[in-house]
Structure 1
């Protein structure tokens, strides 16, 4: 009989589980530093005299830094575990944000022209921070998923929801502790703080995010860990555990050890890849450009027919839309995970190693993917025909935020259910190349369309629906094609997810 100090049972197991959960939460909350770039971009423009194209290049370097090495990060997860990614992100965050802060601090206040060297340095440092973001996200996401494999929807949804809350959490810290009512945000102090704290948080994660031992008590539920294999003993089950009487069980083959070539030959994989490209790419375009979308529209009209500029400034409308995007994204992630686990239970792992799917699914998980594409198509169509003032942009913020959150939450469980857990990090990493392609495509489409309709007397800001009309028509068409692809996957994977 094992004692309570056995790492697989009793007090020690609960202690380790607590430390893992705390590290998952803190890693996720401190992972979104690149998404609060709008907080300090005005200071960069004033202090370093950077132009808008240069600011855009810096923020895109951080956004794109998340994706190029996603498959490699996934392979690191598969090979070594989440702790290794937490360690790497600690180094990248401390280096990236720390050097970014130092570059700003050493720039004289009396410069009149932007320094090309500073611009290049800031771009590279922000790229490092973006690379640290994907290591951090994967560390928290797969630590949660591997610790709670029977609740993948809740685990992935909760960790991604916390990641979605990270910009809001960090902006609250910046506003309350690093902002002066007169001079505004002290960018260098805040970035130094973020470099130190995020580095320490992820360093602790490198210690705590180790694999959780299997439960060794024969009368306790076994928690499956794909990184471990248990040798049979006198208590091992010779036959699969009989499922509940009200659940029909069917053995469904899962390609646990499929090669990369096999994955890339799967047409269903590329269909899922395209759906993710359209949905995530176009949503990230909205996330990055919501401010200029608001600026392109006139303020709301009062009952007397006059603009209500004094009542609701453009700046407050923009910040409101950012909050609406963040909250809708986060809430959808929190809700979809548990709901998906309830209505679409995923593969169950029996003590003898068999994998079984309960057949009484209420609905396929692909239904969530279909729903997000329908919502996105409807949102873009309404953007074209119904949004004509700044305050009406909330519909775009809600629709894009929910579609983004639902899709990102459901993808890990789809990937693991169809292609197995052995290479789930690698496979999910490849899927994340979809927004790496889709985000710059939709972002530059928006930028070029907007630039083509900017009048010289308007400055650098485009005014009117023409600034984004073509962009959202193309997004609407892409969402319809993605909807067809989701429907095909629903038919192909019937009974599997």
Structure 2
């Protein structure tokens, strides 16, 4: 009987983890609401960029604090905090839009500032919710930590798709388009309740997790010797080691100063800044990119109010494609990298061992992602003329983003060891924290310069220059990856 209770409790925990991960990506559906903010609140492109960046940036600086909260109190506490943040942020965002008159002619500075704060709160809620799901999965399934964390990451990648389906199915009117205020209020209630239930369920499972840890002391010790997974960890655990290499090639004891003095680390920072910064710029501005293009090949066609529903549907489709491409690339390239470019593990003798035959450097996946982004952006410049053509941009961006973040942690652990992996990866994570605003504001100001007075930018000129810059940046990143491939030959 006790085993059945334990299984039922574990089933509830799995549902809670899946719910938290699947509902945590609300900020990534901003492209769905940005056209309405532009037309209803009359917000400019730089203002829209500032709001979405507040949400994107809100995830990065507080990751270490959230991690400490997990370590001290457990995943349930983060789920509770996420519930409060999501409910208050999305609910306040919805009310701010609802109280704005339809005939407003100029954007309100105070309203813009409040929306920015609300979206920042939503971004902070995202990292609390995501971490609660990820580390609850790893703690409840210590014997299958790779699969558990990988499944959680995949569900998080599908979150924008899931939420966009809700938006298009229940809150999109064929004539008026997306009912933004109602959709955001639904997010406030849905995501708040999911995380609140998660706090209760994960809290009740705390004792059973401790019991399993005590009964499986040997397994727990093995888990403690492995770094906690993060969003970009490989998806499947390796097999028994078969080949060894000299551990002296690993800079295991490097301090922060040593790391910052290492030219190879700065090349890796540059690659991450350029590739991930460009990808997050596209992901943040998908709505305005769609809005800049006509729905048909008629060059004189403009996006008017009676065509808005079609534009909202096109934006939703691009968000779904981005989400699917991001998730599928993680599920495909994670196991592929583990198989053809296995990460070395440490032996008691102090040597490192490859679990399988090593075929190619893991840096090759960075080369692949940066070149894929360059080809995607170049093709978009030549071939995209209507909203339907943007599938190429969404698929290429999603695959680039997923592939890059899948291999970065393993590269860091292979070169600088496991003891400071979280610290080193945390330092590297500031690269997109810088790159995303740089590319996003470049896009915003270029689009504004081609827009009529107090109007919405129309045509490929809104993003052509920005995409050419991003194409050049991805080529530079590709060259940097080739440099690291040569410098790190035989090490990973």
More deviation, 71-80/440-449: 71-80
Deviation by residue 1:411-450 (Cα, 9 ceiling, x = unmatched): 2332333334444333323222111111111111112222
Higher helix share: 2
Q: Using the alignment, how far apart are the partners of 1:360 and 1:466 within structure 2?
A: 49
Specify the SS of the correspondent of 2:50: helix
8 Å CA contact 2:246–2:352 kept in 1: the answer is: yes
1:278 to 260, 268, 274: 274
Normalized against structure 1, the TM-score is what? 0.78
Match of 2:336 in 1: 339
Note the C-alpha offset of 1:98: 4.1
Deviation by residue 1:173-218 (Cα, 9 ceiling, x = unmatched): 3445566778863246314313522431552475358687387498
Match of 1:213 in 2: 213
More deviation, 26-35/88-97: 88-97
Q: Using the alignment, how far apart are the partners of 1:251 and 1:14 within structure 2?
A: 44
**1:60 is aligned to 2:57:** no
State how 1:118-197 maps to structure 2 within 5 Å. Answer: 118-141=111-134, 157-176=150-169, 185=179, 186-187=182-183, 189-197=185-193
Note the C-alpha offset of 1:480: 1.2
Unaligned runs of 5+ in 1: 229-241
**1:376 is aligned to 2:369:** no
**1:417 is aligned to 2:410:** no
Note the C-alpha offset of 1:378: 1.2
Match of 1:321 in 2: 318
1:89 to 43, 61, 82: 82
Q: Using the alignment, how far apart are the partners of 1:188 and 1:395 within structure 2?
A: 28
Q: How many equivalent pairs are there?
A: 468
Match of 2:469 in 1: 474
1:29 to 6, 13, 22: 22
Q: 1:352 to 1:201 in 2, by over 3 A?
A: farther
2:460 to 441, 461, 465: 465
Q: 1:385 to 1:329 in 2, by over 3 A?
A: same
More deviation, 317-326/352-361: 352-361
Q: Using the alignment, how far apart are the partners of 2:255 and 2:88 within structure 1?
A: 35
Unaligned runs of 5+ in 2: 228-238
Deviation by residue 1:11-52 (Cα, 9 ceiling, x = unmatched): 999888766654443322121111223444566567766566
1:69 to 62, 68, 73: 62
CA RMSD between the two structures: 4.2
2:196 to 183, 200, 208: 200
Q: Using the alignment, how far apart are the partners of 1:187 and 1:96 within structure 2?
A: 13
1:434 to 414, 425, 431: 431
Higher alpha-carbon Rg: 1
Specify the SS of the correspondent of 1:249: strand
1:400 to 397, 402, 424: 397
Specify the SS of the correspondent of 1:363: coil
Q: Using the alignment, how far apart are the partners of 2:37 and 2:5 within structure 1?
A: 49
